Amino acid sequence: MTDTPFTASVSVVVPALNEAANLPHVFATLPAWIDEVVLVDGNSTDDTVAVARALRPGLRVVTQTRRGKGNALTEGFAAATGDIIVMIDADGSTDGREIIAFVTTLVEGADFAKGSRYAPGGGSDDISPTRSLGNRMLTLVTNLLYGTRYTDLCYGYNAFWARHLGALALDCDGFEIETLMNVRAARAGLVIREVPSHERCRIHGVSNLHAVRDGLRVLRTILRERARRTARSVAVPSAAIPSTPAASAMLPPAPAASAGPARMPLPAPPERNVPVLDHALHSGGGRGRRRDHRRKAVPERA
Ligand SMILES: Nc1nc2c(ncn2[C@@H]2O[C@H](COP(=O)(O)OP(=O)(O)OP(=O)(O)O)[C@@H](O)[C@H]2O)c(=O)[nH]1
Ligand SMILES: [Mg+2]
């Protein structure tokens, strides 16, 4: 499956804060056919950037302007040039060999491919019972308020078509970023599919997440977004339905170091008339320009 080529180009955005020791493991799992890797450095005090550049000569490095994973991802997404954007962590917990499952889900018609440790075939070596309970409760609240059927709200492995960045209109700094993406994707009526994913333990270093503080930020985000009025009528959210085989079944062999094979055309996803949320009206012109670029770019890639 590693050799499966896609017409659409794929960017992988990796937020990293002092992850020098983990990056060799993370980058080793990335498929050879990835078009671009964007590392968003959180002003690391270790050798994160030097190690990353040595591992991937073509790497794009973005230094975030504020603090927090949400800010890092937002700025990394803005810098990415691919038709598809995949977000993974730099701590070794997310396996790049699962990217094929996310990209396939998008190419087959989804707008947003949402990783889930709780979908059949997914799992976690890392999450504690307390965090798991908190995540499940936050997931339940989200499903009740937004009519979704998510199984895993707070998970950092997701992918989406870059043309939907305007609908997501991301504007948060912290670990609530995944929640914000999930609720705005639902409110925008995007077609959302869950992808089973297996989370591993962080390899080196310590987590930056504080369960109570960040859990409260997630809860506030869920409630605030629900209260937010939309400029246009909001489409009925698509149900999040696990649709792909177990993540383990999708794992290709270890990626080759050389460039990927020639690309074969795959059907581009259908154009969608995405309802725009009120906050999207404030998004910058850059996003609008990029969405136009993506629409043109997808069918042209060969
Ligand atoms: N650039 C940047 N990256 C960050 C920041 N905070 C966290 N990250 C990265 O975001 C990813 C996830 O952060 P973690 O600290 O592992 O937190 P988590 O995975 O949500 O929680 P755990 O399950 O406890 O590991 C890692 O790649 C971090 O290096 C930040 O402020 N800036
Ligand atoms: Mg982690």
Q: Which two tokens stand for residue 209?
A: 């997440």
pLDDT digits (tens, 9 = 90+) for 124-173: 998 999 999 999 999 999 999 999 999 999 999 999 999 999 999 999 99
With contact defined as beta carbons under 8 Å apart, do 97 and 31 qualify? yes
Cα of 213 vs centre of ligand 1, distance in Å, is 14
Tell me how far apart the alpha carbons of residues 198 and 153 are, in angstroms, rounded to a whole number: 15
- The contacts of residue 140 (CB under 8 Å, 6+ apart) are none
Q: Per-residue pLDDT for the chain (302 aa), expressed as one digit of tens each?
A: 445 568 999 999 999 999 999 999 999 999 999 999 999 999 999 999 999 999 999 999 999 999 999 999 999 999 999 999 999 999 999 999 999 999 999 999 999 999 999 999 999 998 999 999 999 999 999 999 999 999 999 999 999 999 999 999 999 999 999 999 999 999 999 999 999 999 999 999 999 999 999 999 999 999 999 998 654 434 334 444 444 444 434 444 434 433 333 343 343 444 433 322 222 222 233 333 343 333 333 333 33
- Residue entry with tokens 């609008």: 288
Tell me how far apart the alpha carbons of residues 158 and 99 are, in angstroms, rounded to a whole number: 9
pLDDT digits (tens, 9 = 90+) for 200-213: 999 999 999 999 99
With contact defined as beta carbons under 8 Å apart, do 64 and 75 qualify? yes
Ligand 1 atom nearest 214 alpha carbon: 20
Q: Is 215 in the pocket of ligand 1 (CB under 6 A)?
A: no
Strands 158-161 and 112-116: antiparallel
Q: Which two tokens stand for residue 196?
A: 């089973």
User: What letters, b where the CB count within 10 A reaches 16 and e where it falls short, cover 14-23?
Assistant: bbbbbbbbbb
Cα of 76 vs centre of ligand 2, distance in Å, is 18
Looking at 118-263, list the stretches that DSSP marks H as alpha helix, in order from N- to C-terminal side. Answer: 129-146, 165-168, 177-187, 211-227, 247-250
Q: So what CATH class is 10-251+271-281+294-300?
A: alpha beta
DSSP per position, 103-116? HHHHHTT-SEEEEE
Cα of 169 vs centre of ligand 2, distance in Å, is 24
Question: What residue type is 231 in one-letter code?
Answer: A
Q: Is 64 in the pocket of ligand 1 (CB under 6 A)?
A: yes
Best residue among 18, 91, 95, 176 to mutate for probing ligand 1's pocket (most ligand atoms within 8 Å of CB) is 91
